[in-house]
Every structure is written in C-alpha cells, then in structure tokens.
C-alpha cells in the first residue's frame, strides 16, 4: 500500500504528535466514525436488548474513536485540547492528569464500553492510562492469534469497528477478532475507497454475515499529504473503475461505509436511513 508514512506519530508516548501532524491535513475521519458507530451501537442495543454495547475498535491508535463516542466533546474540541500551546510543554504524567480531568467531565450518557486493539503498545498504554479506553491490547493479529488476555477482552464484543485501518490490516485480523467472540459481533468499517474491501466482506460471508455498503455517500478522511499520494490514489481508483470526481480529485481521501451483521439479526432500518450523510 502506497500512502504517506506517519508511523512515528503512532508510536509516540502520547497523542500530541498524532494530533499536531494530522490536524494540519484536516484529519476528520474519527468524527464521522464516531457518529456512524454510535448510531449502529444504538441499533445493536435494540436488536440484542442490551443496556451496554461493547465495542472492539481495530487500529484504534490513542483511542480517538472512543474519546469521541464516549464523551460529549466533539472531535474538533479534542484536536484543540491536544494542539494548544499550553499542552506543548507538559510532561507525560501532567498530560495524563489533564486528560483524565478533561474527559472525566464529559462522559456521554450512551452506555458504551470500548476496547482498543492496535500494534502500538505506546498508543494503547496511553489510552488505557488516560481512561479513554476501557481496555486495550497491543497485538499484531495479522501474524498471530489473539492472546488469552485479548480473547478475554473480546468475549462479550457486540460491535467491531475500524476507521481507515483496512489496508494496514486485512481479513486475517478481522477474522481473528470475529472468531474470538462466542456470539458473532457486528462489524462497521470505514474503508478508503482505493482499498479493496472484498476479502474482508468474504471473511464475513464465510461466517454467515450479511454485508451492506452505504451507497452514494462517502466520508472524507484527510487531505492528501502531497501530489504524489493523490496521484497514486487516483490511478488506483481509475484501475478499480471508481469515479473520483468531487471526492479524491478534489484533494481528500474518502472512505466508504460497510456494515456486516449476523444473518440471524438485521438492521432495524435501511442503512441509508440510519446513517447521516458524509459527502
């Protein structure tokens, strides 16, 4: 996969480099993801008659989706929280204390528990210590089965989410997470349009899941890092027969929404009615 490399910001000891780097590119997919995933969590609670929905967020980094879903603060406010001048000089322990106070004052009324999975131990550690994630595991599920500890965390999973991570992870990770829960969870993925989702969809179908794609709506992720990144994406979209006009051609990565659920359960309403518009 050819894409701008931001590896360093995912292995920093705290989220400041992540926000400082990506905010300069108008990074916004966590806002869209949190809105979509929260809506689906409400539907799952209705279908499964749950008081609390447990989410496993793949490629969670510093728990950004959880930070938005579980709190009344907006993604833009969280970006401001980490990019203000006041934040720059703090030691990690001081930043953790600041985060606990910030997020602790803004707990949302929705009953969600979010477990994060990411290959970065630094990101997972910070998100758990700050109380953003209810639990987390730093594991590479592309090459290894989940540890007993992670299986324990996934035992009661109702919804698996991923925003922008497909391509970094494949159907191997998704399958291992789906198989870890005794009752097959739902899956919601915001997948960049130039990344092929077919293998993940097939992994779901092999587990007797129904696959939906939200038609006619996409969700902007961020601006392209440079002209070379945009050119590569446009070529891939052209190869796939996907029209980039008004979306990637205008300078932004865009994601499509896929929702998978067990065949013996169903969306209470069509996906187009449940999910707000993106672009």
Q: Which residue has the tokens 């009344």?
A: 72
Q: CA nearest 40: which of 159, 145, 198? A: 159
Pairwise pLDDT comparison (36 vs 3), residue with the higher score: 36
- The pLDDT of residue 91 is 96
SS3 state at 202: helix
d(CA 217, CA 215): 6
| Sequence-ordered strand ranges (E) for 119-170 | 135-138, 159-163
Q: Are strands 135-138 and 112-118 parallel, antiparallel or unpaired?
A: parallel
* pLDDT digit string, tens, across residues 115-160: 999 999 999 999 999 999 999 999 999 999 999 999 999 999 999 9
Cβ 200 vs Cβ 171: under 8 Å: yes
Q: Which residue has the tokens 């106070």?
A: 101
Q: Which residue has the tokens 């209810």?
A: 134
- The pLDDT of residue 212 is 96
Cβ 8 vs Cβ 20: under 8 Å: no
d(CA 33, CA 64): 10
d(CA 231, CA 228): 5
- The pLDDT of residue 1 is 47
Burial category of 102 from C-beta neighbours within 10 Å (exposed 0-12, middle 13-18, buried 19 and up)? middle
Q: Are strands 209-213 and 252-262 parallel, antiparallel or unpaired?
A: antiparallel
Confidence label for 3 from pLDDT (cuts 50, 70 and 90)? low
Give the pLDDT mean for 76-82.
95
Cβ 116 vs Cβ 57: under 8 Å: yes
Give the pLDDT mean for 42-71.
95
* pLDDT digit string, tens, across residues 187-222: 999 999 999 999 999 999 999 999 999 999 999 999
Confidence label for 174 from pLDDT (cuts 50, 70 and 90)? very high
Pairwise pLDDT comparison (211 vs 111), residue with the higher score: 211
Q: How far is CA 90 from CA 13, 95, 104, in A?
A: 12, 6, 19
d(CA 195, CA 236): 8
All domains of the chain in start order, with CATH: 7-265 (3.40.50.150)
SS3 state at 171: helix
d(CA 29, CA 109): 23
At residue 83, does pLDDT exceed 70?
yes
Give the pLDDT mean for 11-20.
94
Point out which residues pair with 189 in neighbouring strands. Answer: 162, 258
Confidence label for 278 from pLDDT (cuts 50, 70 and 90)? low
At residue 106, does pLDDT exceed 80?
no
């Amino acid at each position: 996969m050819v894409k701008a490399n931001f590896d360093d910001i995912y292995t920093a000891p705290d989220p400041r480099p992540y926000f400082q780097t990506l905010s300069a590119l108008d990074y916004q997919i966590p806002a869209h993801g949190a809105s979509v995933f929260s809506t689906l969590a409400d539907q799952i609670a209705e279908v499964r008659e749950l008081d609390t929905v447990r989410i496993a967020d793949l490629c969670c980094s510093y728990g950004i989706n959880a930070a938005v879903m579980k709190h009344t603060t907006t993604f833009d406010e969280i970006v401001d929280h980490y990019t203000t001048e006041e934040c720059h000089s703090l030691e990690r322990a001081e930043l953790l204390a600041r985060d606990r106070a910030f997020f602790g004052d803004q707990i949302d009324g929705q009953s969600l528990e979010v477990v994060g999975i990411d290959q970065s131990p630094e990101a997972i550690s910070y998100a758990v210590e700050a109380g953003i994630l209810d639990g987390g595991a730093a594991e590479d599920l592309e090459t290894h089965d989940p540890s007993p500890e992670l299986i324990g965390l996934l035992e009661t999973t109702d919804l698996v989410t991923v925003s922008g991570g497909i391509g970094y992870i494949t159907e191997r990770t998704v399958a291992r997470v789906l198989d870890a829960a005794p009752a097959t969870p739902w899956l919601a993925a915001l997948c960049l349009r130039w990344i092929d989702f077919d293998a993940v969809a097939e992994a779901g179908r092999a587990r007797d899941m129904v696959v939906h794609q939200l038609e006619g709506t996409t969700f902007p992720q961020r601006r392209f890092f440079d002209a070379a990144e945009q050119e590569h994406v446009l070529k891939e979209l052209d190869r796939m027969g996907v029209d980039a006009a008004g979306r990637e051609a205008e300078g932004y990565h865009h994601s499509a929404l896929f929702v998978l659920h067990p065949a013996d359960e169903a969306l209470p309403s069509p996906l187009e009615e449940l999910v707000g518009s993106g672009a």
